[in-house]
Amino acid sequence: MYGEFAAVYDRLTQEVDYPAWAAHYQGMLAQRGVAAGSRVLEAACGTGNLTIHLARHYQLLPGDQSPEMLSVAALKARNAGLTLPFVRQDMRNLSAHRPAQAVVCGCDGVNYLLTKADLRRFLKSAWEVLAPGGVIAFDISSFHKLSQVLGHNTLGMKEEDICYLWRNAWQAGSRRLSMALSIFVKTPDGLWRLIEETQTQRAWLQEEVEEALEEAGFESAACYGDMTLGQPAKNARRLHFCATKPQEG
């Protein structure tokens, strides 16, 4: 996953308001006492769309499992005048030289954890890299979004130099969404190059995420809906979670 796709990912997500998304994370972290300048580990940073905004407020430690994504993110950071310690690491096995005050995982990273064991591994590793009193914050595409909005739909986009066909298949029993993308990119010589990408996301329920946070040892878990600090509506498309590692003693 995310091989050649990394090179065109930003073109397909250019309408996403990443500054607002990053600002929402700042608000959630500030509410839990994570101050500007704190050490924040970003899991599954992708091409760095949140990274470059978060890095202006925190000592950011960004990582991702995909070397192609990290390459794009590192170039983006350099172009923004940022020097960041990008690390290749699986979000289920996070590590840091020193404890972090927060762990952040945005843009559906947790939806790519397909089993309860994977979710538990992520939360356990986040717990281990956090300092006492540290905060975990992440977001997911909701069950409503994956099952009803994307569901079995086919989506498409066409521009002068890029177009795609995005076909979805919802599996109700496993609560998984299979996504097949056929992306056509126009080359400088006028030919079209085809990039095929397949991905799978799991629709996690609010209750099971909160239960997993509690089992991992986190406390004061909260769930917000659609880039707010309010309770999620039944048809919320995005859920944001925030919880705290207890202080020692």
Position 68 pLDDT exceeds 50: yes
pTM of the model: 0.94
> Average of pLDDT values for 58-80?
96
Whether the Cβ atoms of residue 58 and residue 45 lie closer than 8 Å to each other = no
Picking from 90, 128, 127, 114, the residue whose alpha carbon sits closest to that of residue 221 is: 127
Who's near 125: CB < 8 A, 6+ residues apart?
91, 92, 93, 94, 95
Q: What percent of the chain has pLDDT over 70?
A: 98
For 162-214, what is each residue's pLDDT tens digit?
A: 999 999 999 999 999 999 999 999 999 999 999 999 999 999 999 999 999 99
Position 147 pLDDT exceeds 70: yes
- Residue 46 phi/psi, 5-degree rounding, is 60, -135
Picking from 44, 13, 8, the residue whose alpha carbon sits closest to that of residue 118 is: 44
Read off the pLDDT band of 144 (50, 70, 90): very high
pLDDT at 249: 40
Read off the pLDDT band of 43 (50, 70, 90): very high
Position 97 pLDDT exceeds 80: yes
Q: Measured between alpha carbons, how far is 249 from 244 in angstroms, rounded to an integer? A: 15
Q: Measured between alpha carbons, how far is 180 from 185 in angstroms, rounded to an integer? A: 16
pLDDT at 165: 94
Q: Measured between alpha carbons, how far is 233 from 237 in angstroms, rounded to an integer? A: 9
Whether the Cβ atoms of residue 46 and residue 9 lie closer than 8 Å to each other = yes
pLDDT at 1: 52
> Average pLDDT of the chain?
95
For 221-238, what is each residue's pLDDT tens digit?
A: 999 999 999 999 999 999
Picking from 235, 238, 201, the residue whose alpha carbon sits closest to that of residue 223 is: 238
For 5-37, what is each residue's pLDDT tens digit?
A: 877 888 888 889 999 999 999 999 999 999 999
What's the order of all strands across the beta sheet hosting 192-202?
A: 154-158, 162-171, 176-186, 192-202
pLDDT at 126: 98
Whether the Cβ atoms of residue 209 and residue 140 lie closer than 8 Å to each other = yes
Q: What percent of the chain has pLDDT over 90?
A: 93
pLDDT at 2: 57
Q: What is the full DSSP assignment across 102-156?
A: EEEE-TTGGGG--SHHHHHHHHHHHHHHEEEEEEEEEEEE-HHIIIIIITT-EEE
pLDDT at 112: 98
Who's near 32: CB < 8 A, 6+ residues apart?
102, 135, 137, 242, 244
pLDDT at 4: 75
Picking from 29, 60, 26, the residue whose alpha carbon sits closest to that of residue 45 is: 60
The amino acid present at 186, given as its one-letter code, is: K
The amino acid present at 234, given as its one-letter code, is: K
pLDDT at 111: 98
> Average of pLDDT values for 128-139?
98
